[in-house]
Structure 1
Amino acid sequence: MNITDNERDAVYKTIFSRRDVRSEFKPDPIPQDVLERILTAAHHAPSVGFMQPWDFILVQSDGIKSVIKKGFEKAHAESAEMFDENKKQQYKRLKLEGITESPLGICVTCDRSRNGPVVLGRTIKPEMDLYSVVCAIQNLWLAARAENLGVGWVSIVHDSVFRDTLGIPDNIDIVAYLCVGYVSHFNEKPELEKIGWLPRQNLESVIHYDKWSSK
C-alpha cells in the first residue's frame, strides 16, 4: 500500500504540530467515535513479541480528577525544591497540567506479565515492553492531534496516587497519565522552547555515523 504525497504531508504536519497541552483545554466532551479512533490507533502500535502490554483507564469523574490534582500539587512542590533558585522560580510559574480542565484523563499502564514470563524480543532487553507502551502513547498522541484534540502528559505525580485512586494492582506498571480534550488553540512552538527553558537541539549534533563521535 503506497502513501500518496498528500497523505505523507499530512503525517508530517501532524508530527510537527503536536504539542504538550496544559492550559488551553476546553470542556467540550469528546465524541465516542473520536475516542474509539484514537484508542484504536494506540492499540495498533508496534509491540515487542506482539504482546500488546498496554491498558487504558479512562478517567471522567471530577472527583477522581480532583484527587489526582492534589497528588500533582504535592509532587510539584517537592519537584520545585530540586532546582536551583533561578530555575525554581521559573518552574513555579509554569502551568504543567490540565488535570481538572480537560474532559478526559487516560492512565496508560503496562502489564509486564502478559503472555507469560518469556516473550519474543524481551529475552535480552526485558524493558522492551515498557517501550512498546510508549509507542502506543505516541500513536494515541498523533491520532489525537489529527482529530484536533490536545494531549498533555502529566509525569509529576507519584505512582502511589494513581495506584490508590484508580485501583491499579501492584503488578501493573504505570507509564503515563494523559490529559485529553479539545483546545482553544495549539501553540506555534512547544511552550518550554518558547519560554527558553531549554533550546531545541540541532539535528546534526545528535547524529553519529558508524561510531559514537564526540561533537
Structure 2
Amino acid sequence: MTDHKNPAPAGYWRDAEGRLVAEELIKPIDKAREQLVGELIERARVLSADLQRFKAVAFGDIAAFIELSAEQYSAKIGGNKGNVTLTSFDGRYKIQRSIQDTLVFDERLQAAKQLIDQCVQTWGANGDPKIMTLVNDAFQVGKEGRINTGRVLGLRRLEITDPDWQNAMKAISDSARVAHSKPYIRFYERVGDTDEYQAISLDVASL
C-alpha cells in the first residue's frame, strides 16, 4: 500500500520501519501479500463509508418518523433523546434506537463518601458486612482510574433509613451528571414463528 504522506521514490518500497527497500529485492510473496492487503483495505474503507452514511440516514429517518407520529396528536417532540422501537406491521422486523448516557460525578461525590464513612464508623461492629462490602466495592477505582458509576448509584437502592445515609444518597444523586450521550441503532428479524428476535449484524467480526 502506498504511503501518500511519505511516498517512496520510484523503484523503492518503504518497509514497516520507514526504510527504503529496492523493489527488485522484494520477494514475490511479499508483493502478492501487499496487493491482497491493499485491495481488501480499500474495499473495507468503502464499506465503512457506506455504513456511516447508512447510519446517518437511518437516524434521520427515525427522528423524522417520530415527529410525524407525534403530529397525529398535535404533539411536538424536541431533540433526539429517548429510546424507541419501531416494528413492522407483521411483527417480523423491528428497529431499536437507544441513547446511552455516560454519567460522571462532580465534587459532591466526595461529600457523599465522607457521609457514608461517618455512617460506617457509627455503625461499627453492628454494621451489616454485606453493606460494608457494597460500599467498599462502589468506591474502588477501576483500571481506567474511574469509579464504577453503576455501583455507586446502586447504593441508593439499599433500604437504610439512617438520616446521614439518606443525606449521602441525595449527594450522590445531585453529583451525577451526563457527560455525553451516544446513540445506537439495532436491527432485528423474528426467528421463524417464535417470539424471539435475532439481530441483523452489521459488524464484520460477528458475521
- Decide: shared fold, TM above 0.5: no
Structure of greater Rg? 2
The structure richer in helix per residue is 2
Q: Which TM class, normalised by the smaller chain length?
A: under 0.3
TM-score norm. by structure 2 comes to 0.26
TM-score norm. by structure 1 comes to 0.26
The structure richer in strand per residue is 2
Q: Larger relative CO (CA 8 A, sep 6+): 1 or 2?
A: 1
